[in-house]
Amino acid sequence: MHAKFAIAASLLASALIAGCQTSSKLELEQRTAPTTYNSVTFTDYDLNRNFSGGIPGPDKVFRITTDKHGIRRTPANTSEVFVVLRNHTDYNSILEARTQFFDQSEIPTDVAPRWQRVVVPANSTSVYLEKSTTTAQLKYRVEVRQAK
């Protein structure tokens, strides 16, 4: 009886460890991905994480995703970044987002980024907007995290 219990416990522990290793590997890939421009990055990896088996259950677990993002010119000829955030959960999510602008040489420019709250209703979308203060052509990088 004790031998069967020991084998079962060992198998369960192995499965749990394998699941954790899968999550950790993917989390490391997300955390060490190169910086990209004209992109949205989830700095809180629990908001948008991709699993392939193990403890989390389904192959993909997403709480928040981006439907669309981009940059456009305003009537004042400055730049405005927009991100459409989609909530895939059954509860409202309070997030924070900020934008870092870069010039064409990929040097940070414009104003220092500041976190702004964005409420995304359950099973719905919300739009995050940020304007630059310069008329120069810019690149952007938006970071999104769970509100603190």
Judge whether residue 21 has pLDDT over 50: no
* Whether 142 contacts 35, CB under 8 Å: no
pLDDT of residue 26: 57
Lowest-confidence pick of 24-28, 67-71, 135-139: 24-28
Domains of the chain are 2-146 (2.60.40.3230)
pLDDT of residue 112: 85
pLDDT of residue 25: 64
Judge whether residue 53 has pLDDT over 50: no
Judge whether residue 50 has pLDDT over 60: no
Q: What is the pLDDT of residues 86-110, one digit of tens each?
A: 998 889 999 999 999 999 999 999 7
* Mean predicted lDDT score pLDDT of the chain: 80
For residue 3, give every residue at least 6 positions away whose Cβ sits within 8 Å of its Cβ, in sequence order, or none: none
